[in-house]
Structure 1
Amino acid sequence: MDVLDAIAVLAAGIAAGGINAVVGSGTLITFPTLLALGYPPVVANVSNNLGLVTGNVSGAYGYREELRGQRRRLVRMGSASFAGAITGGLLLLTLPPEAFAVIVPVLIFVALVLVVVQPRLQAWMRERRDGRERHRPEGGPGLWIGVFGTGVYGGYFGAAQGIVLIALLGIALDDDLQRLNGAKNAMVSIVNGTAALLFIGMWLLGETEISWWAVLLIAVGSTIGGLLGARLARRIPPLVLRGVIVAVGLAAIAQLLFG
């Protein structure tokens, strides 16, 4: 990797860390960058996942005020993210790279529809909840299953998992969008961190390859971007944040279909 390549990867890491803190889909910046520099898809995917871990953690740290009072919710949903990430990471190392090529754009599109209709759907669901359900701020079994599925997807590839999570949380939970965005950042950190540990273990066993220079550059860049992105996102009104989510999601679909 020469100097210009290193600068490109570092810049992509900063941009990805910022976008992940605000919405998600930072992978759609760093992953194509590594592909453009000649890395094989699986190597690029694994290296990218490892590099973005610190950025996701820094983004979650930037939302620490919004995370207060959500411990029970995060423990419950975090277990789903953890189990899903292990499953998705194993799929990445055993299935062909084309396995999710068709379903990923569809998943992102459905998530964007959910984000758009979230306020109306949330109000409809609130009217039909009984008193018992209304006092379950950690969500029911349906949400756990949805978060698990998102964790599988995140462990396999990860692009736009934040969009899917924010859509699920926004519909299933009656809470402020910024608090849900903080919870989303925490769960994405769990998914990426779990998958990263799995990938390192497989690397030690000689079952996969990792570009550690790419990991280092993305890690430095995404950490900076995550802190900056969290500071920006916490000041965005809910309506504007929802618009940003939709815009980034449409860009993600375009990248996957035509990139």
Structure 2
Amino acid sequence: MTTAAILLVAGVVAGVIGTAGGITSLVAYPALLLVGIPPLAANVTNSVALLGSGASSALRARRDLVGHAPTLRRWLPVTVVGSALGAGLLLVTPSEVFDRIVPFLVAAGSVLLLVQPWIDRRRSAATMRPVAATASVSGVSLYNGYFGAGSGVLMIAVLLLNGEPVLHRANALKNVLLLAADVLPAVLFAVFGSVVWSAVWPLGVGAVIGGLIGPSVARRVPATALRIAIAACGLVLAGWLLVGP
């Protein structure tokens, strides 16, 4: 019951963070480690548990997607295939290798959170060349399927630099693209991965609740302070994973 309570609270906080523009995995993933789940199992469990939070974010994005069906048709196949490949790569990664990689992935997600305001301010009148745009979306999707923390920030950056001038539309497109991209990896992890199902339910339910109450909470918490605090915790966690047991 204590474990379930910790994960439920972590899920709520992660959902609120995601609503405020943060990275949900930087809260959810450490919580799974805290309750004793090994890094590789924690990663696949986290991916499955946060699927519901992604669905609620995508549903909230419908109003901002009017007239953007061509963009979705262009990038959905790329993100789905790329994330599936990333998930497959994760499943064949030995756990001891992933244990050595994960501190750097957590650190990368933390740094992305710190630089997110700069990314959000980026605008580009010119679009990327088609090959560069496809390579960028493919790379972000591959990373999303493999680990995922910070993939939303990266996807927004790619969309902004690919000619989408409005941040909230880029965020809405990101929500739908990553939801579609996360479904197949979640299925693969559920079938072939070491998902800890007893942790999925409290974390997932908490994330959905956090996503629902997030807008109200986010208006009362300074976004900059929240972002810095979470990123700092992520960097401390990365250091502990790197030098710890």
TM range (shorter): 0.7 to 0.9
2:76 to 50, 64, 78: 78
Partner of 2:170: 180
CA distance in 1, matches of 2:119, 2:48: 34
Aligned residues: 235
The AA in structure 1 aligned to 2:235 is: A
Partner of 1:20: 18
Is the Cα contact below 8 Å between 1:17 and 1:229 reproduced in 2? yes
Is the Cα contact below 8 Å between 1:84 and 1:149 reproduced in 2? yes
Give CA-to-partner distance per residue, 1:45-100, whole Å, 9 cap, x none: 11111000011110111222112222211222222211111111112111221236
Cα distance change, pair 197–213 in 1 and its aligned pair in 2 (3 A): same
- Cα offset for 1:253? 5.2
The AA in structure 1 aligned to 2:198 is: W
Q: TM-score, normalised by structure 2?
A: 0.81
Give CA-to-partner distance per residue, 1:153-210, whole Å, 9 cap, x none: 11111111111112222222233211111111112212322210111231xxxxx322
Which runs of no fewer than 5 residues in structure 2 stay unpaired?
Answer: 241-245
Partner of 1:211: 196
The 5 A counterparts of 1:121-132 are 122=123, 125-126=124-125, 129=126
Cα distance change, pair 247–41 in 1 and its aligned pair in 2 (3 A): same
Partner of 2:87: 89
Partner of 2:243: none
Is the Cα contact below 8 Å between 1:112 and 1:245 reproduced in 2? no
- Cα offset for 1:257? 3.1
The SS at the match of 1:99 is helix
CA distance in 1, matches of 2:226, 2:71: 23
2:29 to 28, 31, 46: 31
Cα distance change, pair 228–145 in 1 and its aligned pair in 2 (3 A): farther
Root-mean-square deviation over aligned CA pairs:
3.1
Partner of 1:258: 239
Partner of 2:137: 147
Give CA-to-partner distance per residue, 1:117-165, whole Å, 9 cap, x none: 664x63xx42xx4xxx6xx9xx844223212111111111111111111
- Does 2:118 correspond to 1:116? yes
Percent same amino acid among aligned pairs? Answer: 29
Is the Cα contact below 8 Å between 1:13 and 1:219 reproduced in 2? yes
* Deviates most, 94-103 or 32-41: 94-103
CA distance in 2, matches of 1:63, 1:248: 27
The AA in structure 1 aligned to 2:118 is: V
The SS at the match of 2:101 is coil
- Does 2:204 correspond to 1:222? no
Which runs of no fewer than 5 residues in structure 1 stay unpaired?
Answer: 203-207
Q: TM-score, normalised by structure 1?
A: 0.77
CA distance in 2, matches of 1:71, 1:36: 41
